Structure 1
């Protein structure tokens, strides 16, 4: 496993998403996956204060709480062990409890100073930590002045409750404006951008305001800012690259232009004796800028497949073929 320095944090080049842990993935399996990831050199773990409220009778605290139990049981919650993992969580997308819960995302908690200050304390209690390494703004909230949000996040770092800040699901202009506000006020600001991104490209004109796909404008912005790191969530489209009939290509990517890219992906995978999933992750790491994939696994077998991507070396010709298909 190779590592990258992100705002003073040494993070593994693969980030393990724990969204399904504690709901769709039971505790024993979750612990096995986490143990194997760390054994393989993985350090970067991702959760949120809302995972997974939409799954069955989920309440939104299951992932953080399970991760906290694992950290404590493995001696990684404090002392020397705490430095062996990089824990990221998020705020802003948890539904407001009560009768309006079914109106998500309109009734999400948002990014007021009160919410940010209160929810970091709740997340730390669930995780059993005195600080998180990376604290994300989960979804944009235009009902709150950006200055208020930036100040609240900056104060979290100044108070020692987070080491670095990230932003997810926001357009490039909002990320740039937030960073400018932080610079002018002398506050810490976002150094990590997490956005939905995969090898297939969505159909022309596709737009999802709540979970936007990485676009060229944001990609170009990250290229121009050396202190920014890009993390891509949903890189494997929930197993759609496997070709299984029960894992169809999601509608935004199910259009005629995807056929050529899928064919190129399959060809390169065959040439390398790899799976399409592994090629997608290797392609992402070899992109410019290099993108850190945030993948998930519901079994150790799935985890092993993703770890296998680290052994792949894509040639310039293969990269060009993948990019131009």
Structure 2
């Protein structure tokens, strides 16, 4: 049985499933295989499913509703609001953290998910034009209304997290964190631990780079957004691929896959860390779950912690500030 960890008093699997790629961003998706992947995740004990209203502009939430028919009570379901899509392209065009937007967004998500509540509701990005206190106040009202079980933030700064937690308890902080993305360790991680906030790393496999599955831009689909990221460009990509050799060496020593080493490194960062690797295929899902059985040595952890990738991490919607205006 997969190990469990806690979010607001509820047991969740120590490894969640990020569902974004089943609808957007990483090339073409296969609806049938996506549904089978979700079904297999539940069968193997993964009960923490992560989606958002922006993923496929509602498509991902509708996909989860289909996958969870008759099984809603088996999962800890998380979704998000606050990123506004461009009506033509569907890509993010801004953030809206106003109370009015949040109240409407949850109702639209619940309708698509075909449920009367979600267990965790994140503000997907802080809106730089709206005080975080106002956004979180509205989220707290949704808890009181029974529409959400707990409040989360995503890609927020330490200061924003503190301001938010002063208004309403924050259950989880979702941010990119991996062997190659360490910036949250300086201030965000200590702040969350001081306040008792669970850490939910997305892209724990470095958006696929740590798996070695896409070693050149030519391996990526034309609509794969990684083509736009600094770490996947020219000399940066070549340097980062060379770095992944160290991960492969550790994996070989343990008769494991590089992706499993990357996940095991995150799991080893603390009992409050619940990674949500995304996949749309059962093969990779099972491989990721097997990483729970991989125990890295102190020397392994030190070697992995010393890796410094080429190119900056660019958070999704990095042009949206991680702090908000003062109240």
Q: TM-score range by the shorter chain?
A: 0.7 to 0.9
- Alpha-carbon distance in 2 for matches of 1:11, 1:103: 31
Q: Which residue of 2 aligns with 1:20?
A: 21
- Alpha-carbon distance in 2 for matches of 1:256, 1:39: 39
Q: Which residue of 1 aligns with 2:151?
A: 165
Q: Which residue of 2 aligns with 1:30?
A: 34
- 122-131 or 107-116: bigger deviation: 107-116
Aligned pair in 2 of structure 1 residues 234, 281: CA closer, same or farther (>3 Å)? same
Q: Which residue of 2 aligns with 1:65?
A: 62
Q: How many aligned positions are there?
A: 290
1:216 corresponds to 2:186: yes
Aligned pair in 2 of structure 1 residues 26, 150: CA closer, same or farther (>3 Å)? same
Supply the RMSD in Å over aligned alpha carbons. 2.4
Q: Which residue of 1 aligns with 2:320?
A: none
Q: CA deviation at 1:214?
A: 2.7
Deviations 1:92-129 (A, max 9, x none): 013264xxx56964x43511011111110110010011
Q: Which residue of 1 aligns with 2:136?
A: 150
Q: Which residue of 1 aligns with 2:108?
A: 122
Q: Which residue of 2 aligns with 1:210?
A: none
Q: Which residue of 2 aligns with 1:279?
A: 261
Matches within 5 A, 1:123-272: 123-180=109-166, 182=167, 188-201=168-181, 214-225=184-195, 227-243=196-212, 244-245=214-215, 246=219, 251-252=230-231, 254=236, 262-272=244-254
- Alpha-carbon distance in 2 for matches of 1:109, 1:217: 23
Matches within 5 A, 1:305-320: 305-320=287-302
Q: TM-score, normalised by structure 2?
A: 0.81
Matching residue within 76, 97, 109 for 1:86: 76
Q: CA deviation at 1:320?
A: 2.3
- SS of alignment partner, residue 266 of structure 2: helix
Aligned pair in 2 of structure 1 residues 320, 109: CA closer, same or farther (>3 Å)? closer
- Alpha-carbon distance in 1 for matches of 2:254, 2:189: 28
Q: CA deviation at 1:275?
A: 0.8
Q: CA deviation at 1:201?
A: 4.1
Gaps of 5+ in 2: 221-225, 308-327
- SS of alignment partner, residue 85 of structure 2: coil
- Alpha-carbon distance in 2 for matches of 1:29, 1:257: 34
Deviations 1:165-204 (A, max 9, x none): 1100111111111111x1xxxxx431200001111147xx
- Alpha-carbon distance in 1 for matches of 2:120, 2:137: 16
Q: TM-score, normalised by structure 1?
A: 0.82
Q: Is the 8 A contact 1:284 1:290 kept in 2?
A: no
Q: Where in structure 1 do 4 or more consecutive aligned residues deviate above 4 Å?
A: 101-105, 247-250, 255-261
Matching residue within 89, 95, 99 for 2:85: 95
Aligned pair in 2 of structure 1 residues 109, 319: CA closer, same or farther (>3 Å)? closer
Gaps of 5+ in 1: 53-59, 183-187, 203-212
- Alpha-carbon distance in 2 for matches of 1:256, 1:290: 34
Q: Is the 8 A contact 1:21 1:62 kept in 2?
A: no
